[in-house]
Every structure is written in structure tokens, then in C-alpha cells.
Structure 1
Amino acid sequence: MSFSQQEVDHKKSVSFDASIPLEIEPKAKSSEQALPDIEESNNSFQDTMPLDEDEDKSCCGRLCEAFSRFLFPKLTPISASKFIVLTVLVAVPVVLYIYLFTKMGIGLKTFLYLSQNFQGYTGYLGLGIASMAFFLYLFDCYYWSSRSGVILRNLFLLLIVFACGLFALFTSSDYPFGPIALFIVLIAFWMIGIGRSIFKHVPAKQYVSWLSGPFFCVSFLVFVVWFTWTFLREENEWNPATAEADAAAIGCDVDADEQCYNAFIVWIGPFLISLGLLFLSFFASFLRPGTSAEQETTKFARIWMFLLFGMWVGASLAGAGAGVSTTLAALTLALFIAAAIILAISFEKVERKERLNDIGDALVEKYGNHFDVFRGLLIVTCTPIFMIYFVISFIIQRIRSVSCFQYSKPPSNTQSLRHIGGNGWLTIEARRLLREFQSWNKTKVYTYAIYWGLAFMVMSVIVSQFTLLFLSWLIEKTEAMSLGAVTGLLVAIGMTMFLLPPVPGVPIYLTLGIVILPVGQDTMGIYGSIFYALGVSLCLKLLACTLQQKMIGGLMQNSVSVRQFCSVNSNLMRSMKLVLQEKGIGIAKVSILVGGPDWPTSVLCGIMDLELIPILVGTLPIIFLITPTLLTGSFTYMASVNDGQDYPWAGTLAAIFAAITGVVQFGSMVVAAYYLEQTVSTRGEELEAIPIDEEVREADEKDEAISNAYNQVTEWSLLPLWSKFVLGSSLATMITSCYLVQLFADKCFTEYQLTYTIDEHLDGDWKNLVKPLGIVANILLLVSCLLLYIFRSWAMRKANDQLSSQNVVSNPDERQSETPYELQ
């Protein structure tokens, strides 16, 4: 944004001679002002309260004050005249949108008119937008430097933007979130235009910080007006009667559509606008002087996720959850685009570049050791896109070689392109990407990419398809069994899973919630069955802890492999050992027993010969994890009964408790990590006093030597051609398998639900779940795994041979089968 670069004194820029200053942000430490600034406070509510007022305030008052400071953005103080002017300018497009596109105005008629008159043109319009954008990219529009070229490029871009706006409006019957997303982006441009014209002498960053107050004010007013409007008349409410009437008015086929969420979006539109303006208010407040962007952004991210989740829950209970989920995603994307636009005009080009470089340096410093993992994810997800990009790059390079298009040739002296010259087959930008790719450790990146693909296929095929098939079969077979027999069967299955080191407890509790409910609801009812399953789950967990501690940890404590698997010499396990050996049951010990990894924690207790009863007592709070997990399974089953008609709210509750499960699981891990970190930092001498397990240390050194040798022999430049072909083929087959399952899921697998039966829905053969294309995808998956196994076996043999020649490992046959990536 080309604002004047002259520094304007803050006091002069925020007040007029004839205006009365309106303090939007109260001054800190003033008992007469509303809320003190908490910019330098930490995350606790206690530190954010003014100490000199604590004694005069009730506990409720202090909580309300802390909550308000957490929820509301910090607003930049400006004069009353500026505040009023900016608020009115923000409100004008908001009022116009609410009148045209929500039920408070003529929104139902607008959507019906667009659907009846313009929906047929969306295909042509979309094709035109894509063709024009591809044409501009193909002919290097961003490198048109002549006066006529710049004018032509800007005209084309304006035409594309205008066409995209029309496309969002014309497709509103299918995608009712389009007008909202379009409005959010346009209001960012609108306020930028205001800054360029009315406040052109104000520095851009200062002007943007002024917008936090007007955005927040309009957001609050819109919410109050909409909330009041909903109670003025019965037809303004959202209920089954008004939902059906609005669906008919907007053009939905009520008989065919079980849920016409278009009408719901039109009804709740003002609230979505209020939510979007609140987002922009927070974002504008981040740019005020003296702001700690990292702290403010973290706080706002929590608020935004909470608001989105709360709204999704309410919408789902109202019968429009799926549509609102898509709308919230589109709204968030539009808000990020608007925020990027505002951010782009708030900093000069040099400052933006410096900030991006700072962010890059911080990422390298913090996550540099894990970049190969993320590169692997990039390879497995974007390789086909890169291939298309290079084909287009080849075409562009041929166009650039034509003499009549020399004006489109990009400058070669840019900093990022300076060291890449020549007239190769690809563009200079594509060759830059290839140069970056050549610097990667391809063996590691390809291997991680295959692991990413394997994880995706496990989740998409084994967990999503075959686990569902197994559970439906289990429900079918146990329906005729007694509750006691089903309980015994599930306990046996659950105990077997608990004794496997990689298996956590969550899928076991989930299975109990799904299977016990259909068997026990006839005799004990739904609530009785859930409480019964809860008791069985807790007893199963305690029994598993007993067996892991006494049978594995206690009886196999002399096994080096078991102790090494538990990483007894690591700072993490040594800290756990120090805490678990303490007398009594404290928060630190409970957090480790609940939030620590199931198998290693219990086995470590057995290795240390700890008393069983105190450990079991400390494990009892696991009930707070078992309960939401089990309820997730129970509600998942209820949502699938009769296609969700019997319990229409069950799907929403299943999603809610799934989220709660994730929060509890992650929260317990965070608390455990916190206390372990405290132990490391405050009890360092005691940790040093714990003797090192020499046998495990020797085994760890051998593993490290194997890992280093593996990295040496698998250096990409040193690999023979056939091994590169094997690893590359493994990657190619994995990518193909993933794309087949992702893009053609309905052609790979038969639609199957939890309450379906194999006899009725799969013609009595469970293999009918997988269609021919799914068989191809699974074969490619197996081929990929086989090729990776061949490569790993050869590489491990080469690594052992290299160590044998150096007399580092005396007997390679004793090595375990893990790869260096697993050992790391």
C-alpha cells in the first residue's frame, strides 16, 4: 500500500482539534478504566489481574474480567471522529450484504433468483476463468514490464477477479457460502481503498491497527441486532417449520433433500459476518505498536478454534452440521486471504522480505532436523502436481524462445535466480526447484514419503474399511450371544491388544463402546449398557496394567531387548523412574500413569519392582479418557442405526466426544511432559545419580553405529542404479495406490456402514467390499512394501558388512530388524 512514508507523531495522528478523544483501549493500572492491558502477562489468569483490585472484587468478578481480557481484542485508541467515520465505512457494505443475502433482508429471494436465472452459466464461467488464468500464466503475465503490457495484465486480472465474484454468486445455490467468502475478501479491499483515499497520509500499519475498533464495534452490533431479530417473530426463529418453509422459498427440493442447509446459511448469515469481522478485528490489533505477535496469535488461534467448534456443534444439533462444516472452512479460508491482503499493505516490500526470512530462519532452527520428514510428505502428496508443473514449464520455455514473445522473458538477475543461467528445456523457475530438490537427501526423503503413504493407506483402508467390516461382523455375531459371553470375548480381544507394545488403549475402549451397546440395550437400556461398558473398560485397563507390570516388566526385567525398548537410559524414562518411585499419589505420578505411553510405562514400573496397588490407584483417573472414548463408539453406533433416523443427534455427539477424547489424550500427555520437564530442570543431581544400564547402553551404541553406517551406504550418489530403481519404484507404486484410493474411493470400495451385514450388503462374501480398482490399489501397496523391504534388507546387509570390516559390530546376526529410521 503506497501510503506516505513520513513518520507521523502518534499523539497528533489520533486526535483532531475539534474532536474529543475516545479511548478505545483503556490505560493499564487505572482503577477508573475498564480493563488493563495484559500484553506482558503470561498464560495464567492470576498474572493478568490487577493486584491492587483483587481484594475488592468477588471471585466471579475476577473471572469475568479475566475472561473478557481473554476473549476481546486489544483496541488501538483513536479519536472519536476517526472511530465514527471508520465504523460507518465498515458498516455500509455489511448492511448491504445483510439486506441482499440474509433472511433479515431479501436473502431468500436473492438466492432463488440467482438459482433460477444464472446457475446454468456457471460451467461456462468457470471454464472461462480457468482458461484465462492459464493463458496469463502460460505467457508470463507477471513479467510484462512495458506500459501496454502492465495495463493489459491489470485488465485481465481485474476481469478474472470480477468473474470469480460472479462465479461465487452464480453457484450460491450449490455453495451458499460463496457470497460470504466473497464479501470477506471484498471488505478487505474496501478498507484498503478507504486508506488509500481518505487516510493516505497515515502510515499503512498504523491505519490498519485503527481498524480493530471499528471491526469489533460493527461485529458486536451485527450480533446484537441479529440475536434480537430472531426473537421478534416466530418466523425469524430456526425450527423445523421455518426450516421447511425457507427451504421451499430458496428453491431447495425438500422431498429429495433431507437437509437443505442453504436456508440455514441464509438465516445464520449475519452471525457469520459478525464472526468474520471479529476475526479481522483481532488480526488488525496484532499490528498495533508494541504487540507481541507470537503471544497474541497463539491466544487468538485458541479463541477462533473454540468459536468454530462451538458453532459447528450448535449447527449440527440444528440439523445442518455437514453444510456448516464446509461453510466454516470456506469462511476461514476467505478470512486468511483477507488477512494476507491486509498484511501485504501493512509492510513495505523490504520489511516483508525480512520478516519472511526471520520466519524461515526460526523454522530451520526449530525444525531443521525434521525437514526430511516434511519433504517426504510433500513428495507423496504433490508429485503428480509437480509433474504437471514441469510439463507446463517446458511449454512456457518454448514460448519464451520465440522472438515475438521476448518481452515476457523474466529477468535473470534476481537474487533467487542469479545462479541459474542458460536456455535449458525448463524455465528458470523450474530449474531453481530442481536445484533445490537435488540438494535433498533423496534416500531419506523417499523412504519417509513411502512411510507417509503407508500411514495414509493404513488409515484409509485398514482402519476405515476393514476395521469397519470387522466391527460390523462382530456386532452381527454377538447379537445372539449373552452379555456375559460378549464381555468375555471382548476382554480376551482387548487384553491381547493391550499386550502388544504399539497398541494404545483408545481403539480398545472405542470397540467396547460400539459392540456392548447393541447387545445390552434390550436388557439394561442405553444408559445401563454404557455404564456397564465403562466398568468393563476400566477393569480391563487395570488388568492389563497388572499383566504388563508383573508378567512383562517383572519377569523379563533381565532382558536387554525389553529394557532397550523401554529406553531406560533416556532422560524421559529416567525422569519417569524418579517420579514413579516417589511415595504417595501426586499429580506428577498420576499424569505419567495416565498420559504416558501405555506399554512402556507399565513395563517400566515392573522393571523397577514398584508396588502394584499404588500404581493401580494412580491409574484410576484414566476413567476421564475412557469415558469420552467409549461414548464416541456408542454414539457412532447409534448414528448408524437406521441411517441415523432413530438418533439424528448421535452423529453430532460422536464428533463432540471424539474431539473431547483428543483433547483429554493430548492434555494428559502435555501435563505428563510438563512434570517430566520440571523433574529434569529441578532434580538434575538426582537424575545423574541414577546409574546407567550398561547393557542397554552398549545395545544403543550398536544401534547408533548401524544407523550411521546405514546413512553412509544409502547416500544417493553412492547407490547402484538397480537400488535407486527399486526405491523409486516403491515410491511410485505407493503414490499411485494413494491417489487411486483418494480420488476414486467409490470405485475402490463398496459403501458399507457399521450396522450393515455381510450377507445382506456384500452378498455373503466379505471380499466384495473391495472392488477391482481397490484390488489394484492394494496390490500396488503390497508391491511398494515389498520393494521397500528389498531395499532395506540390502542396505542393512551393506551397513553390517561395513561395520564388520571396521570391527565395530562383532556379530551382525544379533542385530534387530528395525531400520535406522525406526531406531531414531
Structure 2
Amino acid sequence: MSDTTTAAAASKSVSSLKGNIKSVQNKMENLGMLPKIEPVPWPTFIFLLVCVAVPPAGFTFAFSSMGKGIEWIEQHSEERDNMTSLLMMAIAGIMSLLYLLDFSHWTSKLGRFVRVSSLILVAIMMVICILFRARSSPHGLILLYSLGTAAWFIAMKHMFYNDIVFRNYIGWIAGPMFAASLITLSVWIYWVQSDPDNEWDDQMKVRLADKFKWYEELLETDYTDNKLEVCKGTDPDYPLKPCFVYNEETDDWFSDDCQRFCAKIYNGCNVSFFVWSTPLVIAVVLLFFSFICAFLNPQSSGSAPATFGKLFVMLLFGLWCTASLSGAGAGLTESFASFFLGAGVSISMILIATFGSQNVKDMDMLQNFKSKYAWAGDHMKAVLISTSSPIIGMYMCVSFLNQCVRKAGIFPCTLPIDKSKNEHKMWVTKAAHAQIVYFKKWDHSKTYTWAIMWGLAYMIMQVFAAKFTVLFLSWMKKESSSMSFAAVTAIIVGVGMFLFLLPPIPGVPIYLTGGLMLPTVGTGFGTADDGSNGEAQLPGGIVSAVAYTCMVGLILKLCACTLQQKAIGEPLGNRVWIRQLVSINSSTIRTMKLILKQEGLTVAKVAILVGGPDWPTSVLCGIMKLPLHQILLGTLPVFFLIVPTVLAGTFIWMSLLIDPVSQQPIYAWAGTVSTLFMVLAASVQSGSMVVAAYHLERAVSTRSDELTDIPIDQEVLDADNRNRARSLLYTQVTQWDQVPYFWKKFLHFGVFAQVVSCYITLGVKYSEPYTLTNTPDDLPGAWYTLLNGTGWLAMAFFFTAFFVWHQFKAWAYRRVDEWEKSGKPMPKVEEDGGEEEAGVVGGESSEEPKQVAMGGGSNKIVPEELIQE
């Protein structure tokens, strides 16, 4: 009897555990942190996983260090470059000719044969070009893999599941793709850790660059630009070869009279890093595709893509920063550009395959998809303008030539001009003309301002984060080497406290900087002028320095929470603008109030204190006048986020430590481990967010009555409604047909400046090679010589675009202020946030208000006085 009872209890426990795991999985899927996995039989799942694994396995074998990637790149030759140039010219010529002759409209059997054959030939030639240019442009392989993967998934459907509706098939493969991503990443991590020679460090960089004979292509320029004549070798037969060459037999790569900083000559050899990190790139692409396929599922959550987008951008930003700080960032811009280009085209292929048919179900699903993601429309248009304006301009030029060929009527294979539809009056083709007409219907003010903002964000990432941040950290590293340990700690605490008090700043960059700076001074490693070890100011070496830094980070977090609660939340809680910043009336904050006011420390309460946003959570605790000791006690588990973040910064610093005698890296493995800890820190941060979101959702579903009883803050609601009314009025006064001519052209100029600034940083060399191994003294002049003349030209366009954006916003808000101060009625906003029709109320105007097109297809009424220039 007892055995039966025990077995029943065990079975019940297992069922309960499975239910809890399933609940967490569903929540993570709804939040966008996991792809929504359709349940399929295990044999089907395994078969799909094997099929999905074919492209990553083949690509890893062909183009990574784990396979034959090194051998392939080593076969590069001048003949390949010449052939690639000829093939690219041939591709441009064939595609131009086909387009001018309207190849897409050839309907005869011969015409279809020529069209298909030509496209296949062009595709083969493009693949050959990408493969042959893998040494100088490895990011093209990312584009090739993204497109090939999407094509393979579509081919799998037609080969094995032709009788299955495509939208169902897309839902099936989301799970296998996610599993393949994890397997690829795990295999790569195991390969890296299985042998010290597989870890990314200066030794690996030099070894691969030497195998690829990189000096033949770039060293002459690098010697001239970077004043590294001292790094030239002495072999008269190879005058461009550097003074170091990797010797496989002795494992040596520096001669006695060759400085270690000469290795930075190879910082531009981005193919080395790409060959080493190919499996990581494959895993990221598969992860991205798995979520895209899950989002195409009609049952997916509408909020999931937004959350996934934020997490995915955080992941890419973390990898970008880690690679840049460790000196492996060369080519990252082109690689990310290739990834997003490939992802965009691949998503288009999947969308066409999913919604391509005209049956009723597919059309309904397409409408559901469009309505679900309509919020992203203006952003997608803005990204299109900011990234593709030159391409669109070239397309319009070619369209003009195509229209001229049609009007000439020389070739019978071109489309005839339909004069009944006034096509003979059009400068471009009918399709291009329709696209122009569609473009004119956009909300240009909103689209252009977003386009400038996207460009500004890119420049901040590309120049300020990737260049000047590294320069600032290297300067701090040099200056702090002569400071006392207490002084450096005080600086970290002071700067960190200031940043913590700013609402948008999270704690991660503060902990990362601490991990970079404090161990340097505490251990004294590499702080002497000659690169040798200075005086250790903290006993116990690196371990005690890391432990000290983690404790400083924890104390800093607790002190920041105390200040936010006691110096902001409690004394300023009666201020409306403070409660607005906290979003006191939002459903999330109201639910947080419900959980935080509970007595004691529950799992839900701790989850919110750790996984919730830093500033609003602490300030909310002050507004609610919660006991400080209990809040600080519940915040202590944030230590598990601080530790991996500090270790990520410490391992970046350790990867830069050089033995002054052998000139070899002391910790060659540290660069790889820093990347892993950066990913771990992001995972811990995401996990805490998941737990917090789970308990918030649970509170909403189980305590809805209590949540309803929490009163709405009427003062904040009134202020929010005033802001909504001003926002509505701003949208109305910036309708494109009501914007004065000067401001239209001014905004056009801002978009032009933004596009030029971005394309400059993509197309030419704009900065000196610089990593944390350098000091500002390595620059050819003052700190600003980090950017060359081209770089500062890009910055001039950047600041011009920012100035235009700021002035346009200021002009629009001046018009809003003028209307508000005039005493005229503001647009009315319902208390639930819905917007009523705005217009003249109370009969102040006898004239019919003008209709102004709003974004998203709606119309709003604007009084006649408001739209006068």
C-alpha cells in the first residue's frame, strides 16, 4: 500500500513539474523569448531536425576552422580576383539587359526558357563571386548562407511535405531550427574549449592571417597609414612580410627584435575571425529564422516579436562590443549588414511562399499577419529609406531607361506603351510610377524623422560605441595605472552612481567597466611603462580582485536602490512628473504595486526587484513607502547578474595581458571566455525578466479583483491625456501636405545627410586601427586623430542630420505650443487612451474643417486656422 502511495505521489510530482515547465515555456513563447514550437510526433521532429541540420553542417565543414575553411581561403589567388571582377561585370550587364527588355513579361515558351536559364546562370555566377571573394569579403558568405538556408527550407517542403499547407509547415520547422541552433552553438563551444589552439587570441589571428598571406594585400598601406615601419621584416625576397611569422614547429611567431604591437597590422584581416566564428554566425542565423517562422504562426502572440527584437538586438550589441573590445571587431559592420540583408531577402522568400497563393485562408492569414505587425510599418519604411536610398535612386534611373526603350519600340520583346492609360506621359515604367504614387501617400514627416533616428542610432553604434568608447577605456586604463586603488574605486563608484540615477541606464555597462578597471589596478599586471607588472595594491591576485569588484558592484547597486527610493521616490512621490516617469497607471506598474506591497519576501517580489527595470522599480518602492531593509534584502540576488558581467570585463582585460619577456599572451584563452560570459550575463538578465514577467502575468490572472481595486492616479491620467492630446496635435501639424516648403526641403536635407554619413562609414576607411591594447600615444596625433578626414566628414554629416531632426521637432512643437497658448480647444482624448476626433468644438468656426490623412490609413480633422502656414 505504501509503495502504491509513493508511486502515485511521485507520478503526481512529475506531472506537476511537467505542468510548471510547460507553463514557463508557454510564457516565454508568448513573450518572444522562445519560438512557439508546434507539437509534432517525435519521428517527424527528428527527421526535420536532420534535414534542417544539412545547411549548417555543410557550411561549417566548408568555411570554418572546424572543417576545410582554412584550406579554401588559402587557395585564394590573383586569378580568382580577376575572374570575380569579370563575373561581376557580366552579372551587371546581363541583369541590365534583361530588365531593359522586360524579361519578367516574356510569356512564350522560348522566352520563359531564356528567362529561367539566364536567372540560373546569374545565380551561379553570383555564388562563384561570393566564394572567390571569401578572402577579402567574407561577410558575403553570411548573405549566401542566409539565402541558401531559406531556399533549402522551401525545397524541403516541396520534396517531403508537398501535401502540407506551407503555413503549417513553417510552424513545424521552428522547433527543429531552434534545436539546430543550440546544437551548433554547443558543438562550437566544445570545439573551442577542447584545445587551447582553437581559442581566439593574437596567436590565432596571426597564424590564420599568415596562412592567408594577408600581408600581400594590405600591409603596404598599413605601414604607410599607421607608421609601423618598425614592423617590416628583413627578408629581401618578401619586402612586405612582417617581422613575425608563425612557425608551426616551434609555435613561435615573434622574433626577438619584433614588437608585439606589430600584431595589430592584422586587425583588418576580418576573414580570420570569420573563419573561426562561422559556427557562431550559423547558430545566430538559425535562431533568427526559428523565431521568424514562429511569428508567422497565426497563434503566435502579437507582442512576442517586439520582445524578441529587443533581446536579439541586445545579443548582437553584446557580441559587437565584445569583439570590438577584444580587437576582433574588424568587418563587423559589413558582417551585420550582410546578415540583415540576407535575413530581409530570406524573410521575403518565406513570406511569398507562405502567402503566395490566392485562396481564402491564405488571404485571411495575410490580413491577420499585416494587422498583427502594422505597428512596425513606419519603422520598416524608415529603415528602407535610411539604408536603400542610393539603391532606390539607381533603380529609378534604370526604370527611366527601360521606359525609353519601351517608347522607342525597337525590340518586339518589350512591353508596348498603353496610351489609353497615359503611360506615354510617364518618365518611368508603370510599375515604378505606381511605386512613386504609393510612396507619396506615406506619412513623410514621421517616416523621415524615424529614418534620421535610425541613422543616428547606427552612427552611435558604429562610431561612438565601437570607436570612442574603446579610446576612452584605453585612456582610463592608462591613467588609472598610476592611481591608487582607492581612487579608482571612488571613480567607479561615483560614475556608476551617477549613471544609475539616470532612468534609461541599466547596470550592465557599469559592472562591465568595473570588471575592466579595478582588477588592472588591484593586481598591477601590465601597468608599468615597459609592459611589466607594477605594484599590486590588493593581495590575492586576480581572484581577490574579481571578488572585490563583484562586491563593489553589489554595494553600488544597493546604494543606488537606496538613493532612488529614499532620495527620489519618497520625497518626490507627490510630484506628477515623477509618477509619470514611473508610468504609475500602466497595467505592469499596477501589478507590480500589488506584488510589492505584500508582507515578507516572496519569489514574485524578489523576481520583480531583480528582473524589473532598475530605476522605475526602486522609485516605485519609494512612492509606496516600502521598508528599505526588506527591499535591499530582496535585491541581493542581483549578485548572480553582477558576477558574470564583471567576469566578462575581467576576461577582456586578461586577454590583453602580455608577458614582457616572451611577448606572448599570458591568458590566450581569456578572449573567448569573455564572449561566453557576455552571453551568460545576457542569459541571466533575460531569465530574470522571464521570471518577473511570469509572476506579473500570474498575478493578473489570479488576483484580477485586487488589481481592479487599485485606484487610478487621476493627476497622472490628466497629465497623460494632455500629452496624448499634444502628441495627436503634433501628428496633425506635421501632416506632409501641411508642412511649409522650407521645412520639407530642410527635412529632405537631413535624410540626405544621414544617408551620406552612414554610407561613408560603410564604404571607406574612416578611422585608425585601435583596440584596448593601444594607448592614445599610439595615435598619429591628439585623440581626435582616431578618425581621419573621411571619418570627420561622416561626423559632420551626422551632426547635421541631428541638427535637422532637432530643429524640425522644435518647429513642430512650437506650432503645438502656439495652438495650446491661444486657448483654442485641444484634441480630446478618452480616459482609456483612445483618441476622439479633433476639431473645432463649440461652433468657433463656421468653415468645414479640413481632413488630414493620418498614419495607418485613418483620418483626423484639423481646424483651418491650425494648418495655415
Alignment TM-score, normalising by the size of structure 2:
0.66
- Cα distance change on mapping 1:647 and 1:545 into 2, 3 Å: same
* Corresponding position: 1:430 with 2:449: no
3-state secondary structure, aligned to 1:480: coil
Partner in structure 1 of residue 794 of structure 2: 777
Partner in structure 1 of residue 810 of structure 2: 793
Mean Cα deviation higher: 255-264 or 800-809:
255-264
Partner in structure 2 of residue 154 of structure 1: 116
Counterpart among 462, 465, 472 of residue 464 in structure 2: 462
The offset of 1:411, in angstroms, is 10
Check conservation: 1:144, 1:407, Cα contact below 8 A.
yes
Counterpart among 763, 766, 769 of residue 751 in structure 1: 769
Counterparts of 1:251 and 1:334, CA distance in 2:
29
Check conservation: 1:800, 1:809, Cα contact below 8 A.
no
- Cα distance change on mapping 1:336 and 1:544 into 2, 3 Å: closer
- Cα distance change on mapping 1:360 and 1:679 into 2, 3 Å: same
The offset of 1:361, in angstroms, is 2.1
Counterparts of 1:541 and 1:654, CA distance in 2:
22
Partner in structure 2 of residue 4 of structure 1: none
Partner in structure 2 of residue 735 of structure 1: 755
Check conservation: 1:638, 1:644, Cα contact below 8 A.
no
Matches within 5 A, 1:629-640: 629-640=645-656
Check conservation: 1:400, 1:408, Cα contact below 8 A.
yes
The offset of 1:543, in angstroms, is 0.4
Partner in structure 2 of residue 402 of structure 1: 408
Counterpart among 712, 731, 743 of residue 711 in structure 1: 731
Matches within 5 A, 1:648-663: 648-663=668-683
The offset of 1:713, in angstroms, is 1.5
Check conservation: 2:378, 2:446, Cα contact below 8 A.
yes
3-state secondary structure, aligned to 1:647: coil
The offset of 1:541, in angstroms, is 0.4
**Counterpart residue identity of residue 730, structure 1:** G
Check conservation: 2:514, 2:649, Cα contact below 8 A.
yes
Counterparts of 1:103 and 1:779, CA distance in 2:
41
Count of residue pairs brought into register by the alignment: 695
Partner in structure 2 of residue 682 of structure 1: 702
The offset of 1:200, in angstroms, is 12
Counterparts of 2:737 and 2:435, CA distance in 1:
19
Counterparts of 2:615 and 2:61, CA distance in 1:
60
Check conservation: 1:726, 1:788, Cα contact below 8 A.
no
Counterpart among 65, 74, 85 of residue 45 in structure 2: 74
User: What per-residue deviation string (whole Å, max 9, x for no partner) do you get for residues 724-768 of structure 1?
Assistant: 223222222222222223333x32x333222422234353x2222
Counterparts of 1:785 and 1:112, CA distance in 2:
45
Matches within 5 A, 1:37-56: 44=21
Partner in structure 1 of residue 8 of structure 2: none
Mean Cα deviation higher: 427-436 or 175-184:
175-184
Partner in structure 2 of residue 38 of structure 1: none
The offset of 1:517, in angstroms, is 1.8
- Cα distance change on mapping 1:646 and 1:790 into 2, 3 Å: same
**Counterpart residue identity of residue 813, structure 2:** M
* Corresponding position: 1:701 with 2:725: no
* Corresponding position: 1:369 with 2:375: yes
Counterparts of 2:199 and 2:806, CA distance in 1:
58
Counterparts of 2:688 and 2:547, CA distance in 1:
23
Higher relative CO (Cα under 8 Å, sequence separation at least 6) belongs to 2
User: What per-residue deviation string (whole Å, max 9, x for no partner) do you get for residues 355-410 of structure 1?
Assistant: 77455423332232342233222222222222222122111111221212353228
* Corresponding position: 1:163 with 2:181: no
User: What per-residue deviation string (whole Å, max 9, x for no partner) do you get for residues 51-107 of structure 1?
Assistant: xxxxxxxxxxxxxxx9x9999852679xxxxxxxx99xx99x999999999999999
3-state secondary structure, aligned to 1:74: helix
Partner in structure 2 of residue 446 of structure 1: 448
Partner in structure 2 of residue 142 of structure 1: 104
User: What per-residue deviation string (whole Å, max 9, x for no partner) do you get for residues 482-535 of structure 1?
Assistant: 211211121111111112222221121111111112111233422221111111
The offset of 1:434, in angstroms, is 1.7
3-state secondary structure, aligned to 1:675: helix
- Cα distance change on mapping 1:249 and 1:72 into 2, 3 Å: farther
Matches within 5 A, 1:75-154: 115=77, 118=80, 120-154=82-116
Counterparts of 2:61 and 2:818, CA distance in 1:
77
Counterparts of 1:186 and 1:562, CA distance in 2:
51
Partner in structure 1 of residue 613 of structure 2: 597
Partner in structure 2 of residue 508 of structure 1: 510
3-state secondary structure, aligned to 2:96: helix
The offset of 1:569, in angstroms, is 1.9
Identical positions, percent: 34
3-state secondary structure, aligned to 1:555: helix
Check conservation: 1:420, 1:428, Cα contact below 8 A.
no
Any unmatched runs of 5+ in structure 2?
1-17, 26-36, 216-240, 247-262, 525-535, 828-854, 856-869
Counterparts of 1:264 and 1:466, CA distance in 2:
22
Check conservation: 2:406, 2:417, Cα contact below 8 A.
no
- Cα distance change on mapping 1:446 and 1:176 into 2, 3 Å: closer
The offset of 1:602, in angstroms, is 0.8
Counterparts of 1:705 and 1:184, CA distance in 2:
45
The offset of 1:473, in angstroms, is 1.9
- Cα distance change on mapping 1:129 and 1:732 into 2, 3 Å: closer
**Counterpart residue identity of residue 74, structure 1:** F
- Cα distance change on mapping 1:666 and 1:176 into 2, 3 Å: closer
Counterparts of 2:750 and 2:371, CA distance in 1:
32
Counterparts of 1:553 and 1:599, CA distance in 2:
10
Partner in structure 2 of residue 33 of structure 1: none
* Corresponding position: 1:580 with 2:587: no
User: What per-residue deviation string (whole Å, max 9, x for no partner) do you get for residues 695-745 of structure 1?
Assistant: 22222222122112212222111111122223222222222222223333x
Counterparts of 1:469 and 1:268, CA distance in 2:
25
The offset of 1:599, in angstroms, is 1.3
- Cα distance change on mapping 1:735 and 1:649 into 2, 3 Å: same
3-state secondary structure, aligned to 2:600: coil
Counterparts of 1:47 and 1:453, CA distance in 2:
37
Counterparts of 2:340 and 2:66, CA distance in 1:
23
Counterparts of 1:796 and 1:606, CA distance in 2:
33
Counterparts of 1:293 and 1:401, CA distance in 2:
50
Counterparts of 2:100 and 2:509, CA distance in 1:
50
Counterparts of 1:332 and 1:722, CA distance in 2:
35
Check conservation: 1:261, 1:320, Cα contact below 8 A.
no
Counterparts of 1:498 and 1:572, CA distance in 2:
22
* Corresponding position: 1:538 with 2:554: yes
Alignment TM-score, normalising by the size of structure 1:
0.69
User: What per-residue deviation string (whole Å, max 9, x for no partner) do you get for residues 111-142 of structure 1?
Assistant: 87785875542322232223222322232211
- Cα distance change on mapping 1:585 and 1:464 into 2, 3 Å: same
Check conservation: 1:510, 1:630, Cα contact below 8 A.
yes
Check conservation: 2:199, 2:668, Cα contact below 8 A.
no
**Counterpart residue identity of residue 710, structure 1:** Y
**Counterpart residue identity of residue 437, structure 1:** F
Partner in structure 2 of residue 565 of structure 1: 581
Check conservation: 2:355, 2:366, Cα contact below 8 A.
no
The offset of 1:445, in angstroms, is 1.4
Check conservation: 1:453, 1:738, Cα contact below 8 A.
yes
- Cα distance change on mapping 1:379 and 1:246 into 2, 3 Å: closer
